[in-house]
Amino acid sequence: MRMKIVVLDGFTLNPGDNPWDDIEALGELMVYDRTPNDEIVQRAIGADILLTNKTPITAETIAQLPNLRFISVLATGYNVVNVAAAREQEIPVSNVPVYATDAVAQHVFALLLTLIHQPTLHDQAIRDGQWQSRGDFSFWLSPLSELRGKTFGIIGFGRIGQAVAKLATAFGMKVLAYDCSKQQAAFSEGITRAETIEDIFRLSDVVSLHCPQTASNTGLIGATSLSTMKPSALLINTARGGLINERDLADALKEKRLAGAALDVVSAEPISADNPLLTAPNCLFTPHIAWAAREARHRLMAGTAANIKAFLSGRPINVVGE
């Protein structure tokens, strides 16, 4: 008998260009683009395998799903699942740990280069007639600077942090990295290990966040850390929004204690209308898309299919919380 596989929020993985064929071949598949919290149990009832990206799977939900045998997260982060509750029911939970490394690293530099060159601002100025009216062959509306020789500080030196470091060195930047994990990261030649996280804040011209969010580092970027950063520094976050105290960052930008920020993630997504950063100067947003390159989403789909195949074979892989 084929297992029932339910996808609770599949739209971002496959908005139409990333077919479910490999997963559909493994069981009876039902895909929902999005699932409101009050419909999770109704849609998941009877599922043997449950796939979720950001739809929460709580202990209460798990208790109401007697058929559930396996959960696979359509992402690397798995905080949306109560892993302890799943383990109590002997339900393994897997994630896809490697799929978007290059996409995220590339996005970091798309954000950084946008901050320092402001191409959209200058494009609009040209369309508004400013090039013609000024009469000079060249003009600029924001400070322009080179990356070479500047210090790029990385907080979190896992796969993505290391990929970002390679790009930074290719631009001629000095890389200063702080490893947040208990495991020792691989610090290659040309990359300096920061002894403390305070060194990152104090010495860096660019600070880029690449650590998971935990109870201990929520609000890591706040009034204290911002007060030690250079007023000319730039902050980039493609990790988790909760790493930043958004009110403190907005105040620092408004008071010119920080030159700029570029954020692919915020504390509540979609962003709320009253988020203080929406009115902060020189704050650039993208809607949590660093992971979403087509090639990365193809790898995520393939990785999820591999997780399901491994579970069906009796040898689950990428099991979290063990």
Burial class (CB in 10 A: 0-12, 13-18, 19+), 285: middle
Q: Which two tokens stand for residue 322?
A: 């063990």
Q: Please give the Cα distance from 174 to 149 (Å, whole number).
A: 6
Choice among 88, 269, 294, 295 that is catalytic: 269
Is 269 among the catalytic positions? Answer: yes
Choice among 107, 159, 210, 288 that is catalytic: 288
Choice among 107, 159, 240, 297 that is catalytic: 240
Q: Which two tokens stand for residue 139?
A: 């003009």
* Partners of residue 208 on adjacent β-strands: 154, 236
For 300, the 3-state DSSP assignment is helix
User: Which segments within the chain are labelled E, that is strand?
Assistant: 4-7, 28-31, 49-52, 70-73, 93-94, 151-155, 174-178, 191-193, 206-209, 234-237, 260-263, 283-285
Q: Please give the Cα distance from 62 to 79 (Å, whole number).
A: 15
Is 24 among the catalytic positions? Answer: no
Active site residues: 240, 269, 288
